[in-house]
Chain A
Amino acid sequence: MLLWTVIRRLIYSVILVVAVLVLNFLLIHLAPGDPADVIAGEMGGATEEVLASIRKAYGLDQPLYVQLWVYLKAAAGGDLGQSFFYNAPVIDLILDRVGATLLLVFTALGFAIVVGTTLGVIASRKPTGIVSNLVTVISVIGYSAPIFWTGIMLIIVFASLIPLFPISNMYDVTKSVGPFGYALDVAHHLVLPAFTLGIVYLAQYSRLTRASMLEVLGSDYIRTARAKGVSERKVYGRHALRNAVLPIITIAGLQFGGIVSGAVLVETVFNWPGLGTLAFDSILARDYPTILGILFFSAVIVIVANLITDLLYRVADPRIRMAK
């Protein structure tokens, strides 16, 4: 039954990916500006003759649907075209950067979920206590402070006032010695960007957990657990949290796209060498194939994440798992 769900979801996902490709392709071609201009600009000359030969070389003289078909066919084979700006295959550029982005996104998400739910659970134990108020304050800040502002503030603080963490890049060649040293150095560089990206979601998850826990704690099966002699620690950690976490899985899955786009901002602010900085540079350079490739890739990431969320939710909630 689970296998069927996976297969069905995979088919949907493929359809969705193709739709994303087509839509992005059309949108980019609706945008003003001639790619041939950009390519020519790189090369230095721009006579009408040169432009025409460029159009021919890149297939830009073909009708749009032919270009689309060619693009889709190539994409199916894993070829996302050639970057005008970097003069390298787009897929290589992306594969080079995607690891850094995923590292950032998952660290931020993990941080937000672990710390957020923990704070939420503690807050639910005393709905009017200090932690509970702290959660409210954190979430107001997290909701209202824009990512780039938080990032810049952290840079200001850590660049000069307390130089504890590096504020730019992913590693430092002089410090990354050996695989272990490298990992440690990356982790060190990761702290500020991941915190900046995670704090927004931490705010949301802690509030959501608090509300969800309070609701679950009032339910009859919690009373049953207490009547069985279950300790308060287990009532919270096992009986209540297992149920309270369900909406958090849903929300985290839904927000995954938002986190990926938030990563673009964070990467730019902290100069993190991921897809975000690549996207930023390609947009400035009007490097259409690269932009298309990144859009496509981030769509795939989000779709895969939603698929995983769906499966996780099934594992966590037997009522959904059993449903046809």
Chain B
Amino acid sequence: MTVLKVDNIVVDFATRRGNARVLDHVNLEVNEGEILGIVGESGCGKSMTALSIMGLVPSPPGNLTSGSIYLEGRDLVGLSKDEMREIRGNEIGMIFQEPMSSLNPVFTVGEQIAESVRLHENASQRAAWERAVEMLRAVGIPEAEVRAKSYPHQLSGGMRQRVMIAIALACNPRVLIADEPTTALDTTVQAQIFDLLEELQKSRGTAIVLITHDMGAVAQLADRVAVMYAGRIVETGTVEQVLTMPRHPYTEGLIACVPHLQPDPPEKREPLLEIPGVVPSLTELGDGCAFAPRCNRALATCTGRQPVLKTEGNGHATACWAVEAELENV
């Protein structure tokens, strides 16, 4: 069953250099108990997608111009501020990239978890505190009773991210959005956080939207994946489909950048690959495919018209003229 459905949302930002279309008709679907990965280079709109779902797009200058976001069939776009506040932290939880600065330095971590509980549930101060301790235990923090009375600066980055997860999950949300939850952490801690997310997802059945640069994490955790480029989804499908049979040249490039994910890893260690060129400025997108200037398979059509997502029938969809032509010729 679909828990969260992002339906054709468009987000525009008014900038000094004109209108920037930060999200251009983005579609996503997250099913119950599923982990959906969103990958893409920096600036492609991953965080903005998350903020749109939360109703937290900074406005002005940002604006959700069109589209709908359905949480269990209910359209969140157009809800009043109060209604949206009821949903944030309660039905959709979110954790961020910066665990070091995402907790309020003047409150104990227990207070910060308990606040969330008291906001959304009719809980007494004591019950909320007990829930906070219980949540700290659930996210694997030792001596939870003691740690609940700690201030953020007394905890390591990994511990703080666990606290953030505890806050986000305290009210048992239907969906958890994790926006690059491990980018700021070192590698061993990254693995621990991913393991924790996986475990929590299994035990609680929370659907997770996992935004990440880390293709390895997607391979390990996600069920399905969406690849974003310049505010659009360029390829989506199951992890298996996308990682082993990437269609879009951009996805191929992303995977080639991660040596151990390549279908047949080279014998010799080669220098790390990267996709040549840079992400185009969002205020200067032309009519064609935004990736065309960097694409090694670009056709004449690519610079003239924007490709749309075409499904192959098994749910694997790609927005690319070259792929479309190739599939038609088979």
Instruction: List residues of A whose CB falls within 8 A of some B CB.
Output: 219-221, 223-232, 239, 242-243, 316-319, 322
Contact = CB atoms under 8 A, between A and B. Distances in A.
A227 B101 contact: no
B131 to A, nearest CB: 14
B115 A230 contact: yes
B115 A318 contact: no
B103 A227 contact: no
Contact of A229 (B88, B102, B151): B88
Interface stretch (B90-98, B201-209, B239-247): B90-98
B96 A319 contact: no
B322 interface: no
A322 B151 contact: yes
A239 B104 CA distance: 7
A229 B56 contact: no
Contacts of A228: 88-89, 115-116, 119, 167
A224 B164 contact: yes
A220 B152 CA distance: 13
Contacts of A319: 105, 151, 153
Given A227-B88, A318-B108, 6 more contacts: A220-B98, A224-B103, A227-B56, A229-B86, A231-B85, A317-B106
A316 B81 CA distance: 31
A226 to B, nearest CB: 6
A322 B154 CA distance: 9
B101 A220 contact: yes
B137 interface: no
Interface string B156-185: 000000001001100000000000000000
B146 to A, nearest CB: 14
Interface residues of B, number: 31
B213 interface: no
Contacts of A225: 104
B3 interface: no
Interface in B54-106: 54, 56, 81, 85-90, 93-94, 96, 98, 101-106
Given A318-B153, A319-B151, A319-B153, A220 B96 contact: yes
B120 A229 contact: yes
Contact of B85 (A219, A223, A229, A242): A229
Contact of A224 (B81, B85, B104, B154): B104
A227 B89 contact: yes
B98 A318 contact: no
A220 B102 contact: yes
A1 to B, nearest CB: 14
A243 B167 contact: no
Contacts of B98: 220
B105 A224 contact: no
Nearest to B108: A318
Nearest to A240: B104
Given A226-B56, A228-B89, A318 B106 contact: yes
Contacts of B105: 221, 243, 317-319
